[in-house]
Amino acid sequence: MAEAGTGFLEQLKSCIVWSWTYLWTLWFFIMLFLVYILRVPLKINDNLTTVSMFLNTLTPKFYVALTGTSSLISGLILWWYFRKYGTSFIEQVSVSHLRPLLGGVDNSAPSAASAANGEADSSRQSVSECKVWRNPLNLFRGAEYNRYTWVTGREPLTYYDMNLSAQDHQTFFTCDTDHLRPADAIMQKAWRERNPQARISAAHEALELNECATAYILLAEEEATTIVEAEKLFKQALKAGEGCYRRSQQLQHHGAQYEAQHRRDTNVLVYIKRRLAMCARKLGRTREAVKMMRDLMKEFPLLSMFNIHENLLEALLELQAYADVQAVLAKYDDISLPKSATICYTAALLKARAVSDKFSPEAASRRGLSTAEMNAVEAIHRAVEFNPHVPKYLLEMKSLILPPEHILKRGDSEAIAYAFFHLQHWKRVEGALNLLHCTWEGTFRMIPYPLEKGHLFYPYPICTETADRELLPSFHEVSVYPKKELPFFILFTAGLCSFTAMLALLTHQFPELMGVFAKAFLSTLFAPLNFVMEKVESILPSSLWHQLTRI
């Protein structure tokens, strides 16, 4: 299979070499011990006393030398591990295994209250280090999120997610001159309200004073209980927003305040048109939605913050216009632009579509992969490295929930948002999910260890899990970046060296007790062999057996 890449072959070769080295070394010592035990006289029991006396007569210098030798071997192995994997073995074990067992508690052990506050502060700090993006395909609160709450009794949005949305609304829909217009002044306060009913009441109050576009937006997002109602309110918002946009466009060069107002009106107009296109897509008018998105991208090409191209990709996939999808990817799947799960996995889907209907793992293992199949597998590996959480949702190994209003790129929140809308497109392409199932796990064999080093993309953020827990509801089990297991050779070597050092220390401190223990252990170990040898000795003639022992 193509999954066994160059990195995997190198690791396999290294493991084989070290395994054979250890096996041959162990076999040599076993044979040496057997030669010592089975020399004439033949009886094993007669030699156990000799072995015990030999262990008791060993001087402390022997144990010091044995401990030093094992320490030297351990140091060489740990140095090799650091040179190969980029981190020390002790550090990796401490961070990955010991720290979770200790709960991440600091050695200083402050008071419970200060520890809780410090943990919360560190959590918030780690979340702030990860850039959170507005979900381009976010649902409507009134028509979709609230309906989920009515049916299940669960809140699909977290306070942190809704607080980020409130900050976005204040950034996009307000400006410094809002206090000069009564309706805009009311809406400026409405966006800061935490109570949904208070926001809706403020929007109605603003509409009583004037045709306010942002008031219609708030009602369409939060009060409308169906997509049809939301679309009607957005059309009213579009009428009011276009009038404000034309007026501010004429005055934008008259000063900084007018320029800020024009920027706000532009954001409002783009938001309204994008949501209208999403309403058309949800109501089945996909071609109309595609046209609206294309026109919006041509009219405002510099407003990439809304990521309208991701809405366009999803709509084009629904139309099965794969040539148009490829054209959009050619424009936005650029090294200078930020990647997303939509970009990477859509590119993988298009390449998988060319070979997935005829792909067979058994046939591929016999004849090897063709060029098209290799390109598809490489595209899947690229997508999985960017966001490793997506395949479990696409393969339905993990249950989906409603996507949040904000996502963290390469995180579980982005994987949910992508799979929620694009799972149907993968199912529509025959064999695509089968190809994904056969190849996605091979990605982790190609990524250097530790995983934070990355392969095709920048290092995977360590704060992703913490940020996703803030964005996703508590009833959802957050997917964590798959951890590579430590190689068996490393674990075996560490255990062997630790056991040798402990055995040497115990033998030095309690030589008589360890001699008794060694005698009992060897007696138990060689009891079956002793029994077999006695049976063989009783069956074979004594002269023949004597000649064999001499040989």
Confidence of residue 501 (pLDDT cuts 50, 70, 90): confident
More confident residue, 52 or 232: 232
Distance CA(80)–CA(206), nearest Å, equals: 69
| Cβ-contact 325, 350 below 8 angstroms | yes
Closest CA relative to residue 481, chosen from 468, 492, 491: 468
* Model confidence at 455: pLDDT above 50: yes
Instruction: Give the pLDDT score at 307.
Output: 84
What is the Cα gyration radius of the chain? Answer: 34
Average pLDDT (216-222) is 92
Structure tokens at 493: 């070597």
- The pLDDT of residue 265: 87
Q: What distance in Å separates the CA atoms of residue 37 and residue 55, rounded to the nearest whole number?
A: 14
Tens of pLDDT, residue by residue over 73-131, are: 767 776 666 666 555 555 555 555 555 555 543 433 333 333 344 444 444 444 445 78
User: What kind and span of H or E run contains 408?
Assistant: strand 406-408
Tell me whether strands 406-408 and 132-134 are parallel, antiparallel or unpaired.
antiparallel
Whether 453 has a pLDDT exceeding 60, the answer reads no
Q: Which residues contact 474 (CB under 8 A, 6 or more apart)?
A: 158
404-430 confidence digits (pLDDT tens):
999 998 889 999 999 999 999 999 988
Please report the pLDDT score of residue 424 as a whole number: 93
Which run of H or of E encompasses 197? helix 196-209
pLDDT-derived band at 451, boundaries 50, 70, 90 = very low
What is the DSSP code (8-state) at residue 2? T
pLDDT given at position 401: 92
352 CB-near residues (< 8 Å, 6+ apart): 376, 379, 380, 429, 431, 432, 435, 436
Is residue 462 over pLDDT 60? yes
Residue 498: what pLDDT? 75
* 3-class secondary-structure state, position 134: strand
pLDDT > 90 fraction of the chain, expressed in percent and rounded: 23
- pLDDT bin (cut points 50, 70, 90) of residue 2 is very low
CA distance 73 to 255: 74
Residue 546 confidence (pLDDT) above 70: no
pLDDT tens track for 357-369: 777 777 766 777 7
Write the pLDDT tens digit of every residue in 136-160: 899 999 899 999 999 988 999 999 9
Please give the average per-residue pLDDT across 282-304, as a whole number: 88
Exposed e or buried b per residue across 86-118, where buried means at least 16 C-beta atoms within 10 angstroms of its C-beta: eeebeebeeeeeeeeeeeeeeeeeeeeeeeeee
- Alpha-carbon gap, residue 200 to 41, rounded angstroms: 99
What integer is the mean pLDDT of 443-451? 57
pLDDT, one tens digit per residue, over 373-407 is: 888 888 888 888 888 899 999 998 889 999 999 99
**Residue 170, C-beta contacts closer than 8 angstroms, at least 6 positions apart:** 188, 191, 192
- 321-342 residue pLDDT tens: 999 999 998 888 776 566 888 9
Higher pLDDT, 355 or 485: 355
Q: Which positions ≥6 away from 342 have C-beta within 8 Å? A: 136, 310, 313, 314, 418, 422
Mean per-residue pLDDT for 537-548? Answer: 64
Q: Which of 3-7, 209-213, 274-278, 300-304 has the lowest mean pLDDT?
A: 3-7
Give the residue-averaged pLDDT of 484-488.
Answer: 55
